[in-house]
């Protein structure tokens, strides 16, 4: 179980890193560039991924649900 939790945290941190790289212009998502989006978007969303990933480690079911919702928000906002 601990291995799965650490894997989930690692995936959240990788997602956060990708958004930061998009924010500084190193990576681009298709036709979207950092000029097309709200600049804060590329820094607020990674913070949500990090917070959601860390909540996984606290082993409380309601925090897992909260973390899942926090991690799903960037996907909804991106679409």
What are the residue ranges of helices labelled H in the chain? 2-23, 41-56, 61-78
CA dist 32 and 55 (Å) reads 30
pTM reported for the whole predicted model: 0.59
Q: pLDDT higher for 42 or 36?
A: 42
> What's the pLDDT at 55?
75
**6-10, 26-30, 33-37, 65-69: least confidently modelled range:** 33-37
pLDDT at 79: 67
Q: Is the pLDDT of residue 20 over 70?
A: yes
pLDDT at 60: 77
Domains in the chain, number: 1
Domain that holds residue 42: 2-78
């Amino acid at each position: 179980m601990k291995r799965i939790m650490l894997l989930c945290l690692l995936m959240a941190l990788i997602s956060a890193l990708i958004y930061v790289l998009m924010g500084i212009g190193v990576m681009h998502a298709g036709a979207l560039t950092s000029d097309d989006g709200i600049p804060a978007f590329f820094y607020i969303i990674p913070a949500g991924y990090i917070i959601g990933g860390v909540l996984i480690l606290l082993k409380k079911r309601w925090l897992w649900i909260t973390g899942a919702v926090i991690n799903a928000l960037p996907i909804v906002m991106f679409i």
